[in-house]
Structure formats: structure tokens, C-alpha cells
Structure 1
Amino acid sequence: MTDLPKAMGLLRTVFKNHAGKDGDPKSLNKKELSELLRAEFPEAGSTSKNELDKFFKSLDNDGDGVVSFEEFVTFAAALTVICHGE
């Protein structure tokens, strides 16, 4: 398997590992997103509840109160551009 399909699979795996612990396995609620961020970005430190609320709202594009896989992938792509864009 080439690198891009591996990366795509990793995104799906990370999402699945955290989604559905407290509800729908096809989405992340605020608690699940917080746990995902702490697990995947430990160097970022802790965030306040207010910061997490703002971040969650920015990811929840359709306003349904959860982050779908599509919304999560959009975040991952934007983060990639920020960290590695030229």
C-alpha cells in the first residue's frame, strides 16, 4: 500500500478509536474529541473548557452538536496545511 492510502486509513482508525464511546460511533461528541486531542497531540497541553467549546463549534460545520468523520477530515487537512503548508 502506498503512503496516501495508509494516511487515509490512519485518519479513519484514529476517528474510530475515539468515536462512539459515549454514543454514536459515526461521530465525536465534545468529550470524545477532547480525549482524541489529548491522545494524539499530548504536546499541546491542556485546554480550557471555553477553548474546547470554541474549537468544537468551529469543527461542527452543520451545527448538529457532534463532529462527523467528514468534519474531522476537514480539520486534519487544515491542520496539515498549517503545519506543513508552503
Structure 2
Amino acid sequence: MSALTQQCDRLPPATRAFVVAAFLETFTWAGLLARMFLKYVTGTTDVGVRISGAPHGGMFFMYLALVVAGQDVDDDAAARAKDVQC
């Protein structure tokens, strides 16, 4: 097991969920931007925007829910999470 994996295993579950949600939200947003480029700049197709818009919206609301839920995390857990670099 690598040192990076061991450090990430020490993250609190709420922090890990937030990191995963942030990564997935960013990934779906990048896909949506690429498809919007195809729709509005090249004018080739708009099907991609319809297909990637729903997953991006779902991931955004999941990310938002984790942000709101994370307001209740104690300060010690937040301080421990700052010490870990993943």
C-alpha cells in the first residue's frame, strides 16, 4: 500500500465522500462543457448536452447536499483533514 493511499485512508468518511463527490461533479461538468462546445460553437449536435446535463445536475445536488451536511462536522475532524494531502 502506498503512502498516499494510507494517508487517504485516514480521512474521515464525510471528508472522503465530499472528495469523491467533488471529483465526480468536476468530471461531469467537464463533459457538459465539451458537449456545450459542440452544440454552440461547432453547431454539430445538441444531443450530448441533454445526455450529460442530467448526470451533472444530479452530481451537483449531491455535492451541495454534502457541503450543507458538512457544516455539522466538528472542528477536530476538519483540522485532521487539513493535515492530510491527497
Q: Same-fold call, TM > 0.5? A: no
**Higher Cα Rg: structure 1 or 2?**
2
The structure whose residues are more often helix, as a share, is: 2
Q: Would you tell me which structure has more strand in proportion to its own residues?
A: 1
